[in-house]
Structure 1
Amino acid sequence: MPNDMTFWAALLVGFFGGVHCIGMCGGIVGALTFGLPADKRATARQLMPYLLAYNLARITSYTLAGAIAGLIGAFGLSLIPLQHAQLYLLIVAGLFMVLMGLYVGGWWFGLTRIERVGSRLWRHIEPLGRKLMPVRSPRQALLLGFVWGWLPCGLVYSVLIWALSAGSAAQGALLMLGFGLGTLPNLLLMGAFAAQLSAFTRKPWVRWIAGTAVTGFGLYTVGLAIWNIAAH
Structure 2
Amino acid sequence: MLVSAFILGLLGSFHCVGMCGPIAFMLPVDRSNSIKKVSQIAIYHFGRLLAYSVIGLIFGLIGKSLYIFGFQQQLSIIIGVIMILIVVVPQQTFNKYNFSKPIFKAISKVKNALGAALKKKTLDAFLSIGFLNGFLPCGLVYMALFAAIAGGDALNGSLYMAVFGLGTIPLMTTAIYFSHFLKGKARQRIQKVIPVVVVIIGALFILRGLGLGIPYLSPAPVHDMVANGMNCH
Worse-matched range after superposition: 193-202 or 11-20:
193-202
SS in 1 for 2:19: helix
CA distance 1:197–1:223, change in 2 (3 Å):
same
Match of 1:225 in 2: 209
Once the two structures are TM-superposed, the CA of residue 209 in structure 1 deviates from its matched residue by: 5.9
Whichever of the two has the greater Rg, that structure is 2
Once the two structures are TM-superposed, the CA of residue 201 in structure 1 deviates from its matched residue by: 5.7
Match of 1:28 in 2: 23
Give the superposed CA RMSD: 3.5
Within 5 A, what are the aligned runs for 1:138-217? 138-190=123-175, 195-196=180-181, 202=187, 204=189, 206=190, 211-217=195-201
Task: Structure 1: state its 5+ residue gaps.
Answer: 1-5
Once the two structures are TM-superposed, the CA of residue 42 in structure 1 deviates from its matched residue by: 4.4
Once the two structures are TM-superposed, the CA of residue 136 in structure 1 deviates from its matched residue by: 1.3
TM-score when normalising by structure 1:
0.72
Once the two structures are TM-superposed, the CA of residue 27 in structure 1 deviates from its matched residue by: 2.4
Please tell me the residue identity of whatever aligns with 1:14.
G
Would you say the 8 A contact 1:186–1:198 is kept in 2? no
Please tell me the residue identity of whatever aligns with 1:218.
G
Match of 2:230 in 1: none
CA distance 1:215–1:29, change in 2 (3 Å):
closer
CA distance 1:57–1:108, change in 2 (3 Å):
farther
Please tell me the residue identity of whatever aligns with 1:55.
H
Distance in 2 of aligned mates of 1:214 and 1:61: 22
Once the two structures are TM-superposed, the CA of residue 149 in structure 1 deviates from its matched residue by: 1.6
Runs of 4 or more consecutive aligned structure 1 residues displaced over 6 Å after TM superposition: 110-113
Worse-matched range after superposition: 157-166 or 212-221:
212-221
- Provide Cα deviations, 1:106-161, integer angstroms capped at 9, x if missing partner: x9768897555643321233333233231212221112222222112222233223
Distance in 2 of aligned mates of 1:13 and 1:58: 16
TM-score when normalising by structure 2:
0.72
Please tell me the residue identity of whatever aligns with 1:94.
G
Within 5 A, what are the aligned runs for 1:1-232? 6-33=1-28, 40-42=30-32, 45-78=35-68, 80=69, 82=70, 85-96=71-82, 98=84, 102=87, 118-190=103-175, 195-196=180-181, 202=187, 204=189, 206=190, 211-226=195-210, 228=212
